[in-house]
């Protein structure tokens, strides 16, 4: 049963299957209006339909069902593929919790002032900002997705900490507090001579002044005001101060294309990192307006929490994939490889075509986390799965493809493991809500064909989410 604490504020669990009748009841809508709302969710990419899945294993990895009576192969149901908030202008603020949380845990979080939800938003915020900081030029920002939580909340946080965007300009004034420009002063003022020493009663100084109400600052004002209105209910939940700084709209400042061009020029001429970051966020915000065909649907979260979980695990466990063998003091098969990164060591497909020399084409295996110390190699695959164990039955587990790839990751580094006599820890890392045995290996999985090659079973490790998120933040 969905939890409602305000008439227009609803709470759902990601991956939980809903029939159309359940959604009609939750939103208090008739069949036609419920379908219109569902269409908005579908077109925004935050909801899926079971009938669109031809691969049952893929469907099972996306849903989280506690209902044994649900026939997932025959019945049509809807489920959210999203974590965060969705705001439908004038109607609903919808909070969607991750699939590893139970309905009881969600209810308890609401009672406890949304502590877990706030932490989730901070985690997604950090992840989105890390992505944005890797963007070097404005044209790359346009290609970012429109999951805008990190951008919108960071724009507000920047304002709380640093105030409005401003430009410094140099100005020469008489008798100011800045650096004295002696050459400028000597060439323009008469000196008074006392004991053969020249004195200047008036000197010119160089002052740095802030240029107020430039167009970028006006955009900043309007966007902060927009965000405060767009995320109205969500900001109350997250304890964010709403800020209203502008009586005019972005449209009154100019077309979206014109404003983006101005920001791009400003970015190319701005060399202070903090201000560059603000401009990038303003660009991302305006780009989102251009790309959002569902203007009355505001998204504040992520459709891909699996990528967030991967980044959390990578940062918490430490990732050496981008380190060189030399940096890690590892013995390599040949000296020229010492400058190579661990990531580049993973083999790519070699093709041999008739009448052609062999050539490499295609991508290598992509590991999530690989950490190495003096005596061990740790191969981790971060899986955003909601695994459960029953008598002779596992639900929400990694599929055969996941298991096979995890063995192959170990085989890819077989030479390095052997040369350096490393012990191997090969594990799936999965989230668990309120898990008191944080970090416990709760199960192992194996394929005999790999065991016959001397490879150990793969461990299933459950991590308490709040602990992991605290370490990440």
Q: With the CA atoms of 141, 144, 147 and 153 taken in that order, what torsion angle do they form, in degrees rounded to the nearest 10?
A: -20
pLDDT band at 429 (very low <50, low <70, confident <90, very high): very high
pLDDT by residue (tens digit) across 377-389?
A: 999 999 999 888 8
Tokens of 436: 């008191």
CA–CA dist 84, 86 (Å, integer): 7
Write phi, then psi, for 336 (nearest 5 degrees).
-65, -15
What is the mean pLDDT of the segment spanning 245-255? Answer: 88
* pLDDT tens digits, 303-338: 999 999 999 999 999 989 888 888 888 888 888 888
CA distance 280 to 131: 11
Q: What is the pTM of this model?
A: 0.77
* SS3 sequence of 356-388: CCCEECCCCCCCCEEEECCCEEEEEEECCCCCE
**Residue keyed to tokens 């991302």:** 284
Q: Which one, of 291, 286, 295, 282, lies nearest residue 156 by Cα?
A: 282
Two structure tokens written together for 359:
């050539």
Q: Check residue 98 and give its pLDDT.
A: 95
Whether the CB-CB separation of 26 and 2 falls below 8 Å is answered with: yes
Task: Give the model's pLDDT for residue 236.
Answer: 86
Q: Residues 445, 449, 452, 456: what is their CA dihedral angle, to the nearest 10 degrees?
A: -20
Helices (H) and strands (E) in the chain, counts: 19, 21
User: CB of 84 within 8 A of CB of 121?
Assistant: yes
Q: Cα-flanking dihedrals φ and ψ of residue 186, to 5°?
A: -60, -35
Residues 121, 85: Cα–Cα separation, whole Å: 9
Q: Average pLDDT over the chain, rounded to whole?
A: 84
Helix ranges (DSSP H) in 103-181? 103-111, 115-133, 138-141, 149-162
Please determine, for residue 81, whether its predicted confidence score (pLDDT) is greater than 80: yes
- Is the confidence at residue 357, as pLDDT, over 80? yes
Contacting residues for 422 by C-beta, under 8 A, at least 6 apart = 372, 375, 376, 377, 416
pLDDT at 13: 93
Largest CA distance in the chain: 104
Terminal CA-to-CA distance of the chain, rounded, Å? 32
What is the rounded average pLDDT of the residues 34-52? 88
From CA 313, how far away is CA 369, in angstroms rounded? 7
Model confidence band, residue 234 (pLDDT cutoffs 50, 70, 90): confident
């Amino acid at each position: 049963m969905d939890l409602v604490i305000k008439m227009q504020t609803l709470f759902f669990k990601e991956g939980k299957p809903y029939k159309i009748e359940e959604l009609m009841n939750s939103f208090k809508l008739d069949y036609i209006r419920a379908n219109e709302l569902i269409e908005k969710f579908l077109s925004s990419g935050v909801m899926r339909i079971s009938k669109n899945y031809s691969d049952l294993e893929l469907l099972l990895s996306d849903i989280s069902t506690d209902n044994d009576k649900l026939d997932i192969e025959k019945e049509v149901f809807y489920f959210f593929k999203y974590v965060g908030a969705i705001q439908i202008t004038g109607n609903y603020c919808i909070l969607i919790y991750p699939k590893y949380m139970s309905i009881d845990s969600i209810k308890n979080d609401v009672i406890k002032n949304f502590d877990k939800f706030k932490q989730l938003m901070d985690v997604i915020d950090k992840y989105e900002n890390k992505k944005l900081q890797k963007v070097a030029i404005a044209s790359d920002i346009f290609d970012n997705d429109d999951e805008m939580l990190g951008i919108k909340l960071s724009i507000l946080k920047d304002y709380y900490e640093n105030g409005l965007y401003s430009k410094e300009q140099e100005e020469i004034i008489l008798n100011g507090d800045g650096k004295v420009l002696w050459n400028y002063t000597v060439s323009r003022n008469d000196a008074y001579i006392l004991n053969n020493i020249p004195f200047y009663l008036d000197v010119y100084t160089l002052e740095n002044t802030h240029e107020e109400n430039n167009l970028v600052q006006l955009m900043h004002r309007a966007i902060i005001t927009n965000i405060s209105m767009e995320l109205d209910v969500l900001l109350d939940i997250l304890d964010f101060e709403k800020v209203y700084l502008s009586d005019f709209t972005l449209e009154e400042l100019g077309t979206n294309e014109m404003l983006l061009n101005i920001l791009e020029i400003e970015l190319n001429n701005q060399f202070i990192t903090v201000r560059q970051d603000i401009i990038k966020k303003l660009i991302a915000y305006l780009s989102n307006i251009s790309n959002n065909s569902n203007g009355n649907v505001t998204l504040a979260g992520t459709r891909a929490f699996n990528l967030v979980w991967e980044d959390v695990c990578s940062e918490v466990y430490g990732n050496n994939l981008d380190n060189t063998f030399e940096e890690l003091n590892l013995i390599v098969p040949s000296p020229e490889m010492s400058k190579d990164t661990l990531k580049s060591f993973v083999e790519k497909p070699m093709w041999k075509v008739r009448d052609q020399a062999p050539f490499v084409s295609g991508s290598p295996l992509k590991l999530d986390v690989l950490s190495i110390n003096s005596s061990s190699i740790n191969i981790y695959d971060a899986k955003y799965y909601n695994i459960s164990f029953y008598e002779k039955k596992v639900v929400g587990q990694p599929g055969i493809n996941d298991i096979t790839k995890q063995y192959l990751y170990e085989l890819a580094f077989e030479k390095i493991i052997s040369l350096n006599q490393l012990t191997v820890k090969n594990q799936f890392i999965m989230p668990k809500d309120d898990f008191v045995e944080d970090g416990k290996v709760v199960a192992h999985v194996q394929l005999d064909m790999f065991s016959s090659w001397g490879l150990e079973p793969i461990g299933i490790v459950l991590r308490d989410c709040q602990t992991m998120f605290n370490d990440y933040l």
